[in-house]
Amino acid sequence: MTQESEQSPLEQVYGASSAEELAEAYARWSSEYDRETAALGYCLPFMITAWVSRYVPKGKAALLDAGCGTGLTGPYLRALGYETLEGLDFSEEMLAIARQRNAYAELKQATLGETLPWSDGHFTAFLATGIFTEGHAPASGLDELARVTKPGGHAIFTVRDTVLEQGGFRDVFEWLEKAERWKPVEESQLFRAFSVAEPEVLVKAFVFEIL
């Protein structure tokens, strides 16, 4: 038995050492992702809707679900009255499942940290959960996400505690603020990303207003 097969899918995802390994891990996990993360009590795709509803008026304004995965958040945002949702993910296998939910107007394969396929100010807000964590999207990806969000809109996302400082997120927050690209609105207390398992996985939610 290989070391890889002895690891859980979550361990394989966190342990990926390259974009290729991460893509392979999600491709293997995609068909069981929803069931297995539900058993772990993964709550971020649902909790993020609380911050969206606090800061973003419902209606037809376009929202970007960045790193949408299998699209768990989409149906709940639609239920809250957000009519125009778009999503991006770097895993085509995960996007294939998201398309089956019929909650997104458009889904695109894209990689955070690279140029995104939308014009400046295309979205009223972006949301992102579970992607700014170990072995995942870099802090530099926030620059492009801010670019595609219109002035007066909002950036709403979570960051894993273990990468907040060492992954350069605080530095990017400060850089975007000094560049007058955004201003801070809210920073939550640390809370668990999984309500049942993995008690050591803690995140913070952040909200910035785009300038």
Q: Give the tens place of pLDDT for each residue, 164-187.
A: 999 999 999 999 999 999 999 999
What's the pLDDT at 135? 83
The model's pLDDT over 32-56, given as tens digits with 9 standing for 90+, comes to: 888 888 999 999 999 999 999 999 9
How far from the centroid of its chain's Cα atoms is residue 87's Cα?
10
Domain ranges of the chain: 43-210
Q: What percent helix, strand, coil does the chain show, rounded to 5?
A: 35, 30, 35
pLDDT of residue 26: 63
**pLDDT level of residue 2 (50, 70, 90 thresholds):** very low
pLDDT, mean of residues 79-107? 95
Four-residue CA torsion sign, 79, 132, 201, 100: positive
Residue 34, pLDDT score: 87
Provide CATH code, domain 43-210.
Answer: 3.40.50.150
pLDDT in tens, 107-121: 999 999 999 999 999
Residue 25 has pLDDT above 90, yes or no: no
Biggest CA pair distance of the chain: 53
Question: Taking the model in full, what pTM does it have?
Answer: 0.89
pLDDT 10s digits, 140-159: 999 999 999 999 999 999 99
> Does residue 57 have a pLDDT over 90?
yes
Neighbours of 27 (CB within 10 A): 13
Q: Give the range among 16-20, 116-120, 192-196 with minimum mean pLDDT.
A: 16-20
